[in-house]
Structure 1
């Protein structure tokens, strides 16, 4: 019997990046990103005015300068590391029965182009793999919504499987420990900081089951049926798993949330408060992690790596090192492979 040419498809999705660090491209990216109703969850007209009349015009030139600092010869790290990961998966013999496409939720390559490529390959099913370890409506939820809005127009809709989170996967934890080992084995640190991208408190409360979420240490201290999709609880769980794997005692690490915007309350503790507190308490050498991101980007390399370092030193600290993201580390690629095989 002839071997079937029908394969399974995998759509690997990350957040997105401007096409270049030039202001018009950054402005275009910001508009698409921030006009997503799951990112800024306010009424459309208010969101439109905020994004197009205030944020994009004034923030784009400043962000363009920052993106220029991040840009490498190969382009945006988030993009080229995504390409490296997908190429590594394509070349894995255990995944020879799969077709792969890389997509970005915002800008290019688009989710629509990735799905169309997989459809052209006549795949029997599609696994959608958003590269967000912890679930949030603004990230994974947005990808799911976008995919569904596209495929609902298809005449034939194949089986679609979504990966909603993977922060607790053993190989994910192992990959972070492997990347961090080059720092931990060479230098002794006074304290460790695990910084995650923040969200407005209202988004956490909107997703709360039976009003369970109180945004407190108590309700985020473990994962259960009521908070299994709570982003803040998953961040705390991620930290516990990583700290245990690396032998970091509880008293030597702190969790915080970065990238807060506006005056409305966001999930706490805030990164700026933690940084100042650590420096003033005499913690001189700190190693920072950004486990909400799997590839180097603006929020890791620039915000946590450079800006937080400057804040820490200004407050009296001496050493602030950043553990790079997983990027295309072999353990990370192996983790993704296992996720794909388990989901098939």
Structure 2
């Protein structure tokens, strides 16, 4: 009993007043093998905030059609993405975890988690619970809020902690598209490419969402019209994912002094036959060379770490699509990954959450 009391005292001295920081990204398969990819797809697509249809038809769709048929195709693409250090998303996530811990210091405990697969949100939160931390800051690593990403993280966290007898203060970061360091991080990389090449055009491609999800998020039921409703950013559309993406583009355009008419905002990665938010990136790309546009600098500012959607989809597949249509030079602006300016942004987000 005496040893136990001493150990308890040491633990309390080490953790009292400390803040837990949970960094949450979307997730990645544990390996590019088909079974691991299938497992990842099932967990991801069975989330009711991702495919927002009733459970039984969602289960039939995901487990009966999408996961079995898509997993082998996706596994081939993941093999292209995989490096000696594994998944870039997870590699950079751990790098950020380590560097943010160093910057924040001993009064914080930083943990990386993935909404789907490992390391899990539950494991991170349970470790915080065992440490008896004073409070927790949850940072979903999505610059723009969407129900299917940030909203899903919120829900998962609350599902886990609701059974805790003692729930500490929990603060959530909602979005960070307006953070100066987030914008400047992308701008710094872009300027290097702009100094080396005179680009005809600039493309800002964001992950797409079904139009139905955007409509569900419009509490006014009158704001979302999918025409010019995202031309300005204001109180009624500030939680709309599409509006946030257009605002991100405007902030990057201003930072890089890109002239009007020289850029476009578009949306990638659509799935299924239902309408997704437009314009579609692949359709935009096909039209560019016919307009005399031969060189494009492409951004994917919905992602803070390079992944399948940036490196492969934008960096490789869209490059091939552009060149096939008659384009000559295509360059992807890499994500923030573990850059110092991104770590500085996270420090500020945590301390001001």
Which residue in 1 is equivalent to 2:80?
A: 69
- Residue pair 2:214, 2:224 contacting (<8 A) in 1 also: no
TM-score (norm 1): 0.97
Correspondence for 1:170: 180
SS at match of 1:280: helix
Corresponding residue for residue 283 of structure 2: 273
Corresponding residue for residue 147 of structure 1: 157
Q: What is the distance in 2 between the residues matched to 1:5 and 1:214?
A: 47
Number of aligned residue pairs: give it: 341
Structure 1 equivalent of residue 4 of structure 2: none
CA deviation map 1:234-277 (0-9, x unaligned): 00000000111011112111111001111111000011111011
Secondary structure at the counterpart of residue 52 of structure 1 = helix
Residue 349 of structure 2 corresponds to residue 335 of structure 1: no
What SS class does the counterpart of residue 287 from structure 1 fall into?
Answer: strand
**Matches of 2:223 and 2:209 in 1, distance apart?**
14
The equivalent residue for 1:124 is 134
Cα deviation 1:63-113 (Å, max 9, x = unaligned): 001000000000000001000011001111x44311111000000000000
Question: Where do 1:1-344 residues align within 5 Å?
Answer: 5-6=15-16, 7-92=18-103, 94-343=104-353
The separation in 2 between residues aligned to 1:217 and 1:291, in whole angstroms, is 22
Q: Deviations over 1:207-239 (max 9, x none)?
A: 002123334342111222211110000000000
Cα 1:206–1:186 shift into 2, 3 Å: same
Q: TM-score, normalised by structure 2?
A: 0.95
Shift of 1:180: 1.7
Q: Secondary structure at the match of 1:15?
A: strand
The 10-residue stretch of structure 1 (273-282 or 185-194) with the greater mean CA deviation from structure 2: 273-282
8 Å contact 2:114–2:121 — kept in the other structure?
yes
SS of 2:91's equivalent? helix
Per-residue deviation, 1:181: 2.1
Return the alpha-carbon distance in structure 2 between the equivalents of residues 335 and 231 of structure 1. Answer: 21
Distance 1:257 1:5 in 2: 44
Cα pair 1:101 1:117 within 8 Å, conserved:
no
Cα shift at 1:296: 0.6
What whole-Å deviation, never above 9, does each CA across 1:123-150 have from its counterpart, x for those lacking one?
1110000000000000000000000000
Q: Cα offset for 1:3?
A: 7.1
Whole-Å Cα distance in 2 between the matches of residues 271 and 4 of structure 1? 50
- SS at structure 2 position matched to 1:194: strand
Question: 1:72 & 1:181 partners in 2: Cα distance?
Answer: 27
The 2-side partners of 1:200 and 1:19 are apart by 27
Give CA deviations for 1:271-305 in whole Å, capped at 9, x if unaligned. Answer: 11110111211100001000000111110100011
Structure 1: tracts of 5 or more residues without a match? none
